[in-house]
Structure 1
Amino acid sequence: MIAFFAAVLPVTLGASLTTSDVWIIAVIAVLLLLLSFLAMAETALNRISITKAQSLAGEGKRGATVLLELVREPERFLNPVILAVNIAQVVQAVLTGVVANQLFGATGVVIGTILNVGLFFVMTEALPKTWAVLYPERGALLSARPVSWLVRFWPLRILSKMFIGITNWIIPGKGLAQGPFVNEAELLHIVHAAANDEVIEHDERELIESVIEFGDTIVREVMVPRADMVTVDATASVNDALSAVIEEGFSRVPVIGHGIDDIVGLVYLKDLVRAFRRGQTDEAVSRLARRMHFVPETKKVVDMLREMQAGKFHMALAVDEYGGTAGLVTLEDLLEELVGDINDEFDLDDPDVVSLGGGAMRVHGRMSIDELSDVLDTEFPADDWDTVGGLIFNMLGHVPTIGEEADVLGYRFRVDRMQGRRIMRVRIAPAPPEESADDVGSGANVSSVNIGTSGVGSGGERRA
């Protein structure tokens, strides 16, 4: 820019370059290159995460080790780099004004300032930062060593610490937060965006979401409820127990004493077969029972999974706060929370959701509220219940009868099938907008429930 002025305007303005002017122009050019490099370095380094730096270091990339040291403590390089940028900007602007004034006077200073702003924006802001955004890894690896040398320059390091100390004195506080800088909701949004942009597959998105939600799920949400548990009596013979286990298709079942709340152990199919082959068909099952593991129903499933891995067992009994049997949880139940239902060739096809057309569907009463919320894209409440059946029980306030209905958040829930006092099947359809509980005759048996959304549980109950 200054060279352009010196070549074009000296005749008009009667100016000529001196040796000192040439040196000043050279220093300005060097400062512009330095500013361009620092802008690229600052942008590239800030776009590299610790995980990415560790990956680059693991691949043996040149400069990756130094890069990892920098990104682990970003304040070590960020403050000195910002201070170096400020110093270079001020010096470059002053020198530009000085040489422009010497060559062309006041008019040259005005023109030089205008051109300097444009040149500064393009050469030291837009161009290097755009390149760093496009190629963050190359930029970070290229700038890691020079920035590390800059950080070690003790006058710059001392000055940056001094100025930061003055800043902290002016604006007192606890300093920068150490994280986490992304919460769970933001992370899920990032995963959704990545799937929509085809960065990851939708199956991968579902798996990532399952892993994130896995940490918030408790045993009560995935266990087989006590009403669905298959058990054998401790006094039953090996022959009778073997027949029951084969009929149900399980490899292990709990053994009960005086009732469902008196679990005395766990019997394995292989132990029953072994006893049968030895001719011990009339022996009591209690003699073959192994130790049963007991866990609270509020235990986190991630802890439950670790405990099963460490203890090398596949089944545990969930107990409630009173010590009674709440349900049964298996390793398969935990894994299904991550990868979805695991069915073998002998499992009966009994889907939780059956489409009926017209926006209606029939769901299982023990379908989890979390799954229903995902299917209908509506946040249904999950205060003191985990399943669709529990939602209807709490909304109606009594044991329903077949055909009884309740409106919840714009959907009409109708009980289609009962088994004793248990809700087995529920039909869900959009509630007619023109109808309300006051408009419907007594024969319709509709309860209109006005509720707000709340936290939604995750997981579901499955057979052992």
Structure 2
Amino acid sequence: MIGEYWLILIFILVLVVVSGFFSGSETALTAVSRARMHQLDANGEARAGIVTRLIARQDRLIGALLIGNNLVNILASSLATSLFLTLLGDSGVVYATLAMTVLLVIFAEVLPKSWAISTPDRFAMAVAPVIRVFLVVVGPLSTGVNWIVRNLLAALGVEFSSDRSMLSAHEEIRGAVALLHQEGSVIKADRDRLGGVLDLGELEVSDIMVHRTSMRMINADEPPEEVVQQILKSPYTRMPVWRGESDNIIGVIHAKDVLRALAGSGASPSEIDIVKIAQKPWFVPDTTNLKDQLNAFLRRKTHFAIVVDEYGEVEGLVTLEDILEEIVGDISDEHDLDLQGVRQEADGSVVVDGNVPIRDLNRALDWELPDEEATTVAGLVIHESKIIPEERQAFTYYGKRFIVMKRDKNRITQLRIRPLAADSER
């Protein structure tokens, strides 16, 4: 009889170990890195391939693991209760409850889950072959349970889909990068570059273009020698050419073409025909997203496009460099002008030109000002205030104090922005 009791006790302990196996497997397989498993599978790691196939249907996997875990827990508890009732009488229920609670919590829950979460990838690959066999046996039962659960949730008005993630792939990547940056694993510059790549499909050329009011253009009707001087003195290699009125863009002149024309036949600047050597302009809609525009630049092997609105009116220009700067940040060389328009003050405030893009300001100062409704800082203030503010007028939005410093007619040309935390300390 004593030997029989010991067999039951050993069997209970084995069931607790099996319960811990299911608990640890559930934790590891739900926390495992899908990207790492995919990479290991591509490198020939067979167990990583098993993990990838298991987590492809997480609802079926988790259902099977929960069924197995609950079966062994119930069986272990039942055996423990029966054993303690036989040994201790009616009070055995209390002792069995206490003993099984301690065993299950420590050895079947906390310990295996802590172990699994510390090394989820390694743990998942270790248990994957066993779980695959178990899933073949219990899979049909898990599918039935999931069917019941889905119908109950549907009756309660809850939509449940295991085939579609609540987050898009881009949102998952962005969230992972933001978390790693917060933990210190990814530096700010790398976070911004990755974010810039992800944003290409969400931004339009109108968000990054050089506005028509800031465009440097060449008047084809001016004397050739003056035009050549303008091109050679300009910090830009490409400039639009217009005739009659500024909206009538007839070409794009490249500084190299001018130099080639001057050097080729020894012609003087007065003999250069700018219109003849100018390239044909390329017009693109202002609603084109940056991903498509980047692909178009690469496909056409050109760097420069004129942006027009739905009526065909010129709105600005966009270059390949503008798009690349959305990914890698500002690209400057020895000929660039310092037109960033952002100046940090000693009191913690920032003086900003009104035409500074919100995205550039966010990237430079690690702010989170919204850029959905407005492209520039001045546009944000006008959008939020619903008016064209006067000079010295101040507004508070998104944890920042915006003070209008200068205004030219209906344009806000300069603002001072002070974080409210810095403002409250003064």
Q: 1:399 to 1:272 in 2, by over 3 A?
A: farther
Equivalent residue, structure 1, for 2:141: 159
Greater displacement, 347-356 / 314-323: 347-356
1:93-242 alignment, distance < 5 Å: 93-153=77-137, 156-172=138-154, 174-182=159-167, 191-235=177-221, 240-242=226-228
Alignment TM-score, normalising by the size of structure 2: 0.84
The AA in structure 2 aligned to 1:333 is D
Query: How many percent identity over aligned positions?
Result: 26
Greater displacement, 236-245 / 83-92: 236-245
Q: 1:85 to 1:273 in 2, by over 3 A?
A: same
For residues 265-284 of structure 1, the C-alpha deviation after alignment (integer angstroms, 9 at most, x for no partner) is: 22222222222223355242
Q: 2:280 is matched with which residue: 278, 288, 291?
A: 291
Question: In 2, are the aligned partners of 1:314 and 1:331 still within 8 Å (CA)?
Answer: yes
Q: 1:368 is matched with which residue: 345, 351, 357?
A: 357
The AA in structure 1 aligned to 2:142 is S
1:406 counterpart = 2:393: yes
1:78 counterpart = 2:62: yes
1:336 counterpart = 2:291: no
State the 1:354 CA deviation: 1.6
For residues 47-99 of structure 1, the C-alpha deviation after alignment (integer angstroms, 9 at most, x for no partner) is: 01321211232344451111111122222322211111121122222222223
Q: 2:236 is matched with which residue: 250, 256, 262?
A: 250
Question: In 1, are the aligned partners of 2:64 and 2:142 still within 8 Å (CA)?
Answer: yes
Aligned equivalents of 2:418, 2:72: Cα separation in 1: 68
Q: 2:305 is matched with which residue: 316, 327, 330?
A: 316
Q: 1:392 to 1:67 in 2, by over 3 A?
A: closer
Aligned equivalents of 2:85, 2:388: Cα separation in 1: 90
Root-mean-square deviation (CA, aligned residues, Å) is 3.2
State the 1:248 CA deviation: 0.2
Aligned equivalents of 2:219, 2:288: Cα separation in 1: 27
1:264 counterpart = 2:227: no
Question: In 1, are the aligned partners of 2:392 and 2:405 still within 8 Å (CA)?
Answer: yes
Equivalent residue, structure 2, for 1:448: none
The AA in structure 2 aligned to 1:74 is Q
Please list every run of 5 or more consecutive structure 1 residues that lacks an aligned counterpart in the other structure. 1-15, 434-464
Q: 1:356 to 1:33 in 2, by over 3 A?
A: closer
State the 1:368 CA deviation: 2.0
Question: In 2, are the aligned partners of 1:238 and 1:276 still within 8 Å (CA)?
Answer: no
1:344-359 alignment, distance < 5 Å: 344-359=333-348
Question: In 2, are the aligned partners of 1:233 and 1:257 still within 8 Å (CA)?
Answer: yes
Question: In 1, are the aligned partners of 2:404 and 2:412 still within 8 Å (CA)?
Answer: no
State the 1:189 CA deviation: 6.3
For residues 292-315 of structure 1, the C-alpha deviation after alignment (integer angstroms, 9 at most, x for no partner) is: 221112222222112212222111
Q: Secondary structure of 2:60's partner? A: helix
For residues 198-250 of structure 1, the C-alpha deviation after alignment (integer angstroms, 9 at most, x for no partner) is: 22223223333434444432212211111221222345676544332111032
Which structure would you say has the larger Rg? Answer: 1
Q: 1:188 to 1:163 in 2, by over 3 A?
A: closer
| Relative contact order, higher structure (CA 8 A, sep 6+) | 1
| Total equivalences in the alignment | 409
Q: Secondary structure of 1:63's partner? A: helix
State the 1:353 CA deviation: 1.3
Q: Secondary structure of 1:367's partner? A: coil
State the 1:334 CA deviation: 1.1
The AA in structure 2 aligned to 1:405 is R
1:273 counterpart = 2:259: yes
Equivalent residue, structure 2, for 1:460: none
Q: 1:379 to 1:120 in 2, by over 3 A?
A: same
The AA in structure 1 aligned to 2:192 is E
Q: Secondary structure of 2:2's partner? A: coil
Q: 1:240 to 1:185 in 2, by over 3 A?
A: same
